[in-house]
A and B are shown apart, each in its own frame.
Chain A
Amino acid sequence: MVDALREVRRVLKPRGVLVNVRPVTTPMVVEVVAATRTIWAKEVASYSTPEDVVAAEAAMQKALSVGWFVFEKSLPYDFEISCDTVTDLSLYVQARKLPEADIPYEEMEEWRRELGADGQTARLRCRRPWLMSTFRKK
């Protein structure tokens, strides 16, 4: 990771900007949504390998400490995935290697079916906390 940051510094022009967008280890929220209203929600683990996040943070700290970059600003945001069915959500979660164990698929599907029976279109939403940070090449 430090090697990648060294390369990024090399290819950046003087005073160039490094933009780092990444997920953080804060729990994500899975929800059942009808129209714009959240009907049901649960917090679940957001990262299957939190050690990767820690290692990435350590690499960035190293790059700052040796003076390659200067921190400018950070902005947290929610990265949203909206799915029609639990199968879709599960496919996304597996593809992104997110932790599946705590996601209550059956409960979510039950909510979706109940709302559907009431004539409402329900979708399943996953909101992952991400962070965008910018750094300036020294």
Chain B
Amino acid sequence: MAIQVDPAGVEPSAILQAVDFRNAHVLEVGAGDGRLTFRYAAEPRSVVGIDMKEPEIRSAAKVPREESRGSAQFLCADATSLPFSSEAFEIVLLASAL
């Protein structure tokens, strides 16, 4: 493998230790190609990943469900105008998105 990103899974471990994702509806802002999303997607009840970068979001959305380890959905959307109703999520994850 030429490039391994976070091979030890330090980032998802830190997040899952800090917050209880079980049964939560999670929004990930800045999900990109789903690199981080797929590493915790098996824990929450649902995950929606958004990003302004359409090619990356398309790439994330194409990952087969059996590889994505959960019910993650991906949308191209702007963080300053979120296409969701108020009080829809228990957890919002900003992935280097500010």
B:77-98 near A, CB below 8 Å: 79-82, 84-98
CB pair A18–B94 under 8 Å, yes or no, is yes
Q: Provided the pairs A7-B79, A130-B11, A132-B14 are in contact, do residues A21 and B89 lie with their beta carbons within 8 angstroms?
A: no
CB pair B96–A22 under 8 Å, yes or no, is yes
Cα–Cα distance between A23 and B6 once the two chains are bound (Å): 14
What range describes how many residues of B lie at the interface? 35 or more
A:30-79 near B, CB below 8 Å: 55-56, 59-60, 73, 75, 77-79
Whether A4 sits at the interface, judged by CB under 8 Å, is: yes
CB pair A11–B88 under 8 Å, yes or no, is yes
CB pair A88–B2 under 8 Å, yes or no, is yes
The number of inter-chain residue pairs (CB within 8 angstroms) is 118
Q: Provided the pairs A7-B80, A8-B92, A79-B11 are in contact, do residues A19 and B19 lie with their beta carbons within 8 angstroms?
A: yes
Residues of A within 8 A of B89 (CB): 11-13, 16
Residues of A within 8 A of B95 (CB): 21
CB pair B3–A83 under 8 Å, yes or no, is yes
B:1-56 near A, CB below 8 Å: 1-8, 10-11, 14-15, 18-19, 27, 29, 36
Interface size of A in residues (CB-CB distance below 8 Å): 41
CB pair A21–B96 under 8 Å, yes or no, is yes
CB pair B18–A19 under 8 Å, yes or no, is yes
Q: Provided the pairs A4-B79, A84-B2, A132-B15 are in contact, do residues A13 and B98 lie with their beta carbons within 8 angstroms?
A: no
CB pair B98–A60 under 8 Å, yes or no, is yes
CB pair A7–B15 under 8 Å, yes or no, is no
Smallest CB separation, A75 vs chain B (Å): 5
A interface residues, Cβ below 8 angstroms from B: 1, 3-5, 7-8, 10-14, 16-23, 55-56, 59-60, 73, 75, 77-85, 88-89, 91-92, 130, 132, 134
- 7 sampled A-B residue pairs with Cβ under 8 A: A11-B84, A16-B87, A19-B92, A19-B93, A75-B18, A77-B10, A84-B1
